[in-house]
Structure 1
Amino acid sequence: MAPQVVRWRRHLHQHPEVAFHEVDTSRFIADTLAHVPGLVITRPTPTSVVAELRGARPGPTIAVRADIDALPIHEENEHAYRSTRAGAMHACGHDGHTAIVLGLATVLAQHVAQLPGTVRFIFQHAEELSPGGAESLVQLGVMDGVRQVIGLHLWAPMPVGRIGILAGPAMAAPDNFQCTITGKGGHAAIPHACVDPIAIGAQVVTALQQVVTRTVDPLDPIVLSVTQFIAGSAFNVIPNSAYLAGTVRTFEPTLRDSVPATMERVIRGIAEAFGATVAFHYERGYRPVVNDRALAERLHQVVARTFGADTLVDLRPTMGGEDFSAYQQRAPGVFAFVGAGNVETGIVHPHHHPRFDVDERALDVGLRYLTAATIDLLSDA
């Protein structure tokens, strides 16, 4: 299947669609699966696809998830299969995830007479944009009756040929915030007659770092990043307002609950001290991805048997977020990382970079891993 999986991945890479707009992508997936005998295909939403393969004998239902959306990034790569759609790019590997699970469905369907149980393949829309597609699919019943759920992420920071499976916390909860500081605009040469939202905003950016360093236990992981600071339109005008936005990443539920109030108190304190007002909005994103420990240990053994124990990498959790966590609320789940980087060939750019790419040998590794994992979990019949 390796050459076909590569062809699928390249087709998807050339035709990216961003979150909630995966019309052609989902049609391609459904049309491809329609040629696989034995699959029952449904479309729970207009841009997602679910296919179910029922084995010849009774057994558990195992779910395998792939995300299918691209990012609003203009690709800067020059390879023949680069994006043909300006402003959209598969810059995170979802094209590879989709191709791998298409390959998995094809492989397992060829051996359905030997399989117990049921495999449910979930091709999920809108992983990249909150509120995401996973939560809506769960509410629509895609996890009903599922005993275990697995998925993977092609991982550029890790060399091709390696696999990482964390037991416990794996990815953080990605929340975001927005803040508008309203002061009093005027002439930049007469600052004393103004309330300068830029000067206040600069102090807010600095002070927010102390939320991390001085109000949070150093042993609790947290990231607080201000990623937008928008204000002003002319060199000689102090604007009336400044807009700040960013992200907060945490694992611990109690810390996640307490951070917004602390942030708002700090921001309002600074702004009010200089006569400005604040509009603060905090939005909770996905839950943290927490891998089931027993299932993770079992999949460690699957990797060791399939590839050799030296394939496993001892990963640390990442502060990136993933809505795979929605599926883990309904069944034990494990989200694995499959190495896709290659320094020697220049595949070194990080996820969400306009020159992101993967070593396509990782597609075969991912397919072999998911095949072995699914067959192992079905053996609990």
Structure 2
Amino acid sequence: MSLKDKLFEKLEQNEERMVEIRRHLHENPELSFKEEKTAQFIEEFYKDKDVSLTANAGNGYGIIVEIEGGAGDGPVIGIRADFDALPITEEADVEFKSKNDGVMHACGHDGHTAYMLILGEALIDLKDELKGTIKIIHQHAEEIPPGGAKSIVESGILDDLDEVYGIHLFPTLDLGDITVCPGEAMTGRSNFDLKIQGSGGHGAMPHTTHDALVAGGYFVTSAQTIVSRRMNPGDSVVVSITAFEAPGGYNVIQDSVTLRGTVRYLSMDNREPVYEEMAKLVKGLETAYDVECTLDYVYDYPVLYNTEEKIDEIEEVLTASQGSYFEKVYRDKPQAASEDFAYYLEKIPGAFIFVGAKPDGVDTAYPNHHPKFEVNEKSLLISAKAMAEIVLNKLG
């Protein structure tokens, strides 16, 4: 029996455990930087297994598990799964619904962790047949900046990696589909808060006020001209205002308002120009509406850039298995979302790919970060086998 067949057999035999782990994690979600019990669960899983484990990696509860192959020298490969949840109240109709009010695994990180634990166990069992070393990166805090990846990279614990790989589940992709994207695959991200301080007063006498709400309303529309009039039409740039806080009564013009938003870009060349244009608009608000503005603008996750030759290799490896445990692998357009896996790829060659997880019997699935988000649990075994093939291509 080949090494691949042995590994796949172990994964298939433990698919039910994989699903059980996923459901346990789904019932017990924890927010970014607060994943204490999740981390304990992961550490307990590896207890008494023949591996080296480093806890509290980076700026939180990150865990690095090192598996040394016993079949000779080879590369050091990193494979990553994140495990934090989101501040969302779950509305999905499942038996294993979140037990933590206002917290939900609405991005599939529970599935990422479940498949990676079972894959890690199988790789440990077969490590004597592997050439090289595997570092499993169980990463905390992907969802909230500054994220966990950047600090793990900066800690130096991954300095010996030759390559790094990750998988993300997407229920908006058909079950059985695996997509790859060379080069710029996910957008970079910046977030901002804007406080507009005016001078409030009576709603019947606006001439005696400096209306912060009107200034804020103008900013909501004018911010879109950054994309439509300042950015190259061939570039992918998005500016979204996601919150406008101006509570008050019918007859009161508010003293101040606060806006919040996000910026996405598929080229790092657009990171600073968007900020510079926004700063100009804010300065104009102060002059035009006689208000004071405070813009807190944070450069966040970089553009996720997949090493093109690694995507070529993955595509070649997975194409050989196309039609067996999954339907097809194909190249797709970049994703508009952002991912702190980008920090690994800034320093280490590798790739981040996507596995379809559309639930059975639906035409249109709820997307990631939706309160009714669900994944097809058959995608867990697909993910485990796909990552196993990537690892064996390097170490087998």
Same fold (TM over 0.5): yes
**1:42 maps to what in 2?**
54
Spell out structure 1 runs of 4+ moving beyond 4 A: none
Amino acid at match of 1:47: Y
C-alpha displacement of 1:273: 1.1
Q: How does 1:167-186 map to 2 (within 5 A)?
A: 167-186=182-201
CA RMSD of aligned residues (A): 1.4
Q: How does 1:23-62 map to 2 (within 5 A)?
A: 23-35=36-48, 37-45=49-57, 47-56=61-70, 57-62=72-77
Give 3-state SS (helix, strand or coil) of 1:12's partner.
helix
Q: Tell me, yes or no, if the aligned pair for 1:44 and 1:137 is still in contact at 8 Å.
A: no
TM-score (norm 1): 0.96
Amino acid at match of 1:144: D
C-alpha displacement of 1:340: 0.6
Give 3-state SS (helix, strand or coil) of 1:307's partner.
coil
**2:10 maps to what in 1?**
none
Counterpart CA distance in 2 for 1:228 and 1:276 is 20
Q: C-alpha offsets along residues 163-213 of structure 1, whole Å, 9 cap, x if unaligned?
A: 011111111111101111111100000011111111111111100111100
Q: How does 1:100-115 map to 2 (within 5 A)?
A: 100-115=115-130
For 1:239, which of 239, 250, 254 is the aligned residue? 254
Q: How does 1:1-381 map to 2 (within 5 A)?
A: 1-35=14-48, 37-45=49-57, 47-56=61-70, 57-308=72-323, 311-342=328-359, 344-345=361-362, 348-379=365-396
Q: Tell me, yes or no, if the aligned pair for 1:173 and 1:286 is still in contact at 8 Å.
A: yes
C-alpha displacement of 1:330: 2.2
Give 3-state SS (helix, strand or coil) of 2:285's partner.
helix
The answer to which of 252-261 and 365-374 deviates more is 252-261
Q: Tell me, yes or no, if the aligned pair for 2:305 and 2:346 is still in contact at 8 Å.
A: no
C-alpha displacement of 1:231: 1.2
C-alpha displacement of 1:274: 1.9
Cα distance change on mapping 1:93 and 1:347 into 2, 3 Å:
farther
Counterpart CA distance in 2 for 1:310 and 1:352 is 26
Give 3-state SS (helix, strand or coil) of 1:83's partner.
coil
C-alpha displacement of 1:39: 1.4
Counterpart CA distance in 1 for 2:343 and 2:158 is 10
Amino acid at match of 1:13: H
Q: Tell me, yes or no, if the aligned pair for 1:347 and 1:358 is still in contact at 8 Å.
A: no
Cα distance change on mapping 1:157 and 1:345 into 2, 3 Å:
closer
Counterpart CA distance in 2 for 1:265 and 1:345 is 46
Counterpart CA distance in 1 for 2:364 and 2:24 is 19
Amino acid at match of 2:215: I
Amino acid at match of 2:204: A
Counterpart CA distance in 2 for 1:108 and 1:252 is 37
Give 3-state SS (helix, strand or coil) of 1:58's partner.
coil
Counterpart CA distance in 1 for 2:230 and 2:360 is 39
The answer to which of 317-326 and 270-279 deviates more is 270-279
Counterpart CA distance in 2 for 1:314 and 1:146 is 26
Q: Tell me, yes or no, if the aligned pair for 1:17 and 1:88 is still in contact at 8 Å.
A: yes
C-alpha displacement of 1:144: 1.6
Gaps of 5+ in 1: none
Counterpart CA distance in 1 for 2:46 and 2:133 is 16
Cα distance change on mapping 1:11 and 1:232 into 2, 3 Å:
closer
The answer to which of 98-107 and 339-348 deviates more is 339-348
Amino acid at match of 1:63: G
Q: Tell me, yes or no, if the aligned pair for 2:18 and 2:118 is still in contact at 8 Å.
A: yes
Residue correspondences, number? 378
Give 3-state SS (helix, strand or coil) of 1:306's partner.
coil
Q: Tell me, yes or no, if the aligned pair for 2:184 and 2:267 is still in contact at 8 Å.
A: no
C-alpha displacement of 1:126: 0.3
Counterpart CA distance in 1 for 2:330 and 2:90 is 30
The answer to which of 132-141 and 287-296 deviates more is 132-141
Q: Tell me, yes or no, if the aligned pair for 2:172 and 2:364 is still in contact at 8 Å.
A: no
TM-score (norm 2): 0.93
Counterpart CA distance in 2 for 1:356 and 1:313 is 24
**2:6 maps to what in 1?**
none
Q: C-alpha offsets along residues 119-154 of structure 1, whole Å, 9 cap, x if unaligned?
A: 000101000000000111112223121000000100
Counterpart CA distance in 1 for 2:366 and 2:294 is 37
Cα distance change on mapping 1:4 and 1:347 into 2, 3 Å:
farther
C-alpha displacement of 1:271: 3.3
The answer to which of 283-292 and 43-52 deviates more is 43-52
Give 3-state SS (helix, strand or coil) of 2:21's partner.
helix
Give the percent of matched residue pairs that are identical in Structure 1 and Structure 2. Answer: 36
Give 3-state SS (helix, strand or coil) of 1:59's partner.
coil
Counterpart CA distance in 1 for 2:384 and 2:272 is 38
